[in-house]
Structure 1
Amino acid sequence: MFRSNNQFSFNIEDHELVVDNFAGGGGASTGIELAIGRPVDIAINHDPDAIAMHKTNHPLTKHYCESVWDINPVEACAGRPVGLAWFSPDCKHFSKAAGGKPLEKKIRGLAWVAMRWAATVRPRIIMLENVEEFVTWGPLINIGSKEQRPDPERKGDTFKSFVHQLRQHGYDVKWKDLIASDYGCPTIRKRFFLVARCDGQPITFPKATHCNPNKQPVNGRTLKPWKTAADIIDWSIPCKSIFNRPRPLAEKTMQRIAKGINKFIIQNEQPFIAPGEATIVPFITECANGSSQRNMAIDEPLRTICAQVKGGHFALVTSHMIKMRGTNIGFPTNEPVHTITAGGNHIGEVRAFLMKYYGTGIGQDINQPLHTIRTGDCFGLVMVRGEKYQIVDIGLRMLEPHELFAAQSFPSDYIINVDHTGKKYSKAKQVARCGNSVPPLLAAALVNANYQTLMNIERVA
């Protein structure tokens, strides 16, 4: 199984090796596969769950479930040339999300394994992915008896030494930050990419193919509209009401919802309306009697239909995204998904269910905690295409793993819930694989811009 329309020979001796270190669940490998038209040859990761997911989706790859330091490149390659070696070392020590947590020299130095490959098997192209703060990589100093922190006086020194040593090994080295949404991924994930090559060919960073449709570049190029959260949301999944839950939502969560509803729906001149509008609403709202309006599940028998129904038995659905970390309340559904991390459920969807406004109250006491939204007869009054609508309910759910993987641009047939032996993954493990992953379309863009087989290089020469 491989994801490309390109035809390739299954005679492995016809190809240079392509190696994915820190392979994880397979984001980079999938992107490489899309670009070169064949599976990667070798994948290395110490995590059994990550290797299991990788093996499920990349069965033609040789897998090593070991530390990258325990793999001898010379033995693994068995004398064959390496065309591309990809490295995605642990980034948490460089990320802003690490905060003030103590650091471990062993994890912080994982990127040095790329130098080992450069010195022993000399890959024609090396690609390294990390967070944008990777350029600040510097030595650690002791704080107290056990803790270590980066030396503020030597910020970036280790990174400079890393680049210098690659150049000493005969590599041309360049780096750049790339944003996934610029290359067709439905996420704004921003990452640092270093490319080093020793074959005399130029290093090229891919040009953006997508952008905010309202902000086209001024150089005359017309780019495709970016992929958005709406493109990856599974609209068939119901959104449970935030009201009258057996276990009430936290006060801060309700405040985030209130601010998001106010900013992205009530105060928005063009609130996002769910695709298909009423045809995908997971419940029906009864509009025959405004003072005793009832909501009913879409999979329940229909209530008695009255002859004099104003506006029918539907409500429009408008949606925005909620972010559960930091001070960010969320973002519109017609923007790419914010960066997904391995920590778990922190990105969700808020749906506001609307019905036509006729000037009568809907009988809901919602003064608290949605105190920032007007209450009473005009609670949640929204203008949609010049008509007044009223919020009759608000739903919240966290995004499911298959939606998060779609946001990272994984193919829809990527297997995430079970491994090759039939063992099921917990939702937490699925999310962890996703949060640690490289967006495949971003990896594909970078590889497409730089990787040519030796045969093609010789043909051009």
Structure 2
Amino acid sequence: MISKTKEIIVDNFAGGGGASTGIELATGVSVDIAINHDPDAIAMHMVNHPDTKHYCESVWDVDPREAAAGRPIGLAWFSPDCKHFSKAKGGKPVEKKIRGLAWVAVRWAATVRPRVIMMENVEEFQTWGPLRKDGRPDPVQKGRTFRSFVNALKVHGYSVEWKELRACDYGAPTIRKRLFLIARCDGRPIIWPEPTHGDPESVAVKTGKLKPWKTAADIMDWTLQTKSIFNRKKPLSENTMRRIARGIQRFVLNNPDPFIIKVNHSGDFFRGQKLDKPLQTVTAKNGWGLVDPVLIQMGYGDPEGRRVLDLKKPLGTITAGGNKFAIATSHLIKLRGTCKDGQTVTSPMPTITAGGLHVGEVRAFLTKYYGSDIGQALDSPLHTVTTKDRFGLITVKGENYQIADIGMRMLQPHELFAAQGFPAGYVIDRDANGVKYSKAKQVARCGNAVPPPFAEQLVRANLPELCGQDIPIFRNSKQAN
């Protein structure tokens, strides 16, 4: 029997379950209702939130009064399609119908009056305004419709505030920035959660007030192999090779202290980032890859002729033939876009998109350089270090190396979901009936998802009573007009 006294939670535009997951992390229970028109999104939501009632239909086709069934609504979450507001849309015409999806929040406010409404969208949502005849936003009326939307909520008795937040500041290893709007009608103040993470170089982190940003390196699966960029059956495109070259130049050749990792592996523009920072925004068109450094052991008969060593452990047995060792340096590249620089794996991840796998990992494999030799036996005296220059010759912690190979792979869906802040056990590759998802569908769900830490922190701050916490006492709290 359905309780008509317990407050329920509704996730409109539920997608693959990012907001629902964050809400569940805060409250300890699944959202009561999830709505989305996309069967693939609902299927992923169902396998991860089996206790939720699912509506696979347009948000406009769901009657709020029928869905609520007389129960009070503590929270209604809305994440309407953002593509036709985003700057990533460029100068292309936009669809008025899609831009108007946000109005469904006013419908819920008018019919079932949720105590708290939360909405997530791109920053450009604030510029929502009428379109010209050519289908492009009218710059003269920028923000007019957004202001009307806010006023409509206020007319129904809600206090309304909005603010831009970054996912990396709340524990997700991505720099994804989003606009959040909060409206509430219970007279309590709107609370914006304080950041939990920050720049490792900031005073707040160094004094222990905040945790350091989680980085791209934290979510990388170093067990995955990278395929050499050379002698491929299908050569990489010229633009991809140029981007890789720019990354090698910046993050390997010109880097005095390359990022060293442990791995198990046997246009004219380059874009990337350091791995010691949060990953840039994860979108529905994933365009990021990785280049990484490893210590490898050469000449062991495997297909690649090398095996991986743990950098934290002593070197392996020295053989009569002599062990030849190498390291690999790592960074990320984006195979689409026009940004000219890259990033290391020690930075947060960039924004992940839903349109495809376009984020790559590039690994530059370096071998010890001793003149004409590739390496040497460790039980022999150190070979003479020459001053003769070689292409790709670099110094790592005082020792000379040269590039022996460069590998590149695309980041995989489980890495991208981790970058968004999803918990490790989140099911992304199959639905509730065991039907497998393609990688493209997995990435699409990921890029369209709300990073769960956003929803978790916003709910904890504004609805502590739903999270098993006491309601703070606020002085001078006024009933919303």
Confirm or deny a common fold (TM above 0.5): yes
- 138, 142, 145: which one aligns with 2:133: 142
Matched, 1:269 2:256: yes
Cα displacement (A) at 1:260: 0.6
Match of 1:243 in 2: 230
1:368 aligns with: none
> Counterparts of 1:32 and 1:284 in 2: how far apart (Å)?
46
Distance 2:142 2:215 in 1: 36
1:123 pairs with one of 100, 107, 114: 114
More displaced, 313-322 or 74-83? 313-322
Q: Which residue of 2 aligns with 1:74?
A: 65
Alignment partner of 1:447 is 2:459: yes
Partner SS, residue 457 of structure 2: helix
Q: Say if 1:237 and 1:282, in contact at 8 Å, map to a contact too.
A: no
User: Match for residue 55 of structure 1?
Assistant: 46
Q: CA RMSD in A?
A: 2.8
Deviation at 1:265, TM superposition (A): 1.8
Unaligned runs of 5+ in 2: 267-292, 309-317, 375-387, 475-481
- Kept in 1, the 8 Å contact 2:12–2:36? The answer is yes
Residues 376-427 of structure 1: CA distance to partner in whole angstroms, max 9, x if unpaired?
9522223222222222111100001111111111111111111001111111
Of 209, 219, 231 in structure 2, the residue corresponding to residue 232 of structure 1 is 219
Q: What TM-score results when the alignment is normalised by the length of structure 2?
A: 0.83
Q: What's the CA shift string for 1:216-242, capped at 9, x where partnerless?
A: 449966321111111111111000010
Q: 1:458 to 1:181 in 2, by over 3 A?
A: closer
- Residues 283, 296 of structure 1: 8 Å contact kept: no
Q: Which amino acid aligns with 2:356?
A: G
Residues 346/166 of structure 1: CA separation in 2 closer, same or farther (3 Å cut): same
Whether the 8 Å contact between 2:15 and 2:36 is mirrored in structure 1 is yes
Partner of 2:314: none
Q: Which residue of 1 aligns with 2:15?
A: 24
Tell me the equivalent position of 2:390: 378
Identity %: 64
What is the aligned partner in structure 2 of residue 169 from structure 1? 156
Aligned-pair CA distance for 1:286: 3.9
In the other structure, the counterpart of 1:285 is 298
Q: 1:307 aligns with which of 301, 315, 320?
A: 320
Q: Given that residues 83 and 453 in structure 1 are in contact (C-alpha distance below 8 angstroms), is that contact kept between their aligned partners in structure 2?
A: no
Shift of 1:193: 0.4
Shift of 1:446: 1.4
* Cα shift at 1:11: 8.1
1:98 corresponds to 2:110: no
Shift of 1:313: 3.1
Question: How far 1:170 sits from its partner (Å)?
Answer: 1.0
Of 27-36 and 100-109, deviating more is 100-109
Corresponding residue to 1:132 among 123, 126, 130: 123
Q: Secondary structure at the match of 1:272?
A: coil
Partner SS for 2:250: helix
Whole-angstrom CA distance in 2 between matches of 1:33 and 1:261: 42
Match of 2:6 in 1: 15
Q: Aligned partner of 2:57: which letter? A: E
| Conserved 8 A contact 1:236-1:282 | no
Query: 1:351 is aligned with what amino acid?
Result: R
1:53-106 deviations in whole A, cap 9, x for unaligned? 000000000000000000000010011100000000000011011012221111
- Separation in 1 of the partners of 2:356 and 2:262? 27
Distance 2:426 2:252 in 1: 34
* Other-structure match for 2:448: 436
Letter in 2 for 1:421: N
Q: Deviations over 1:109-138 (max 9, x none)?
A: 000000000111111110000001110000
* TM-score when normalising by structure 1: 0.86
Instruction: Give the alignment of 1:380-459 within 5 angstroms.
Output: 380-453=392-465
SS across alignment from 1:402: helix
Residue matched to 2:287: none
SS across alignment from 2:409: strand
1:325 maps to 336
Aligned residues of 1:172 and 1:198 also touching (Cα < 8 A): yes
Distance in 2 (alpha carbons) for counterparts of 1:119 and 1:227: 41
C-alpha distance in 2, partners of 1:121/1:282? Answer: 60
The residue that corresponds to 2:55 in the other structure is 64
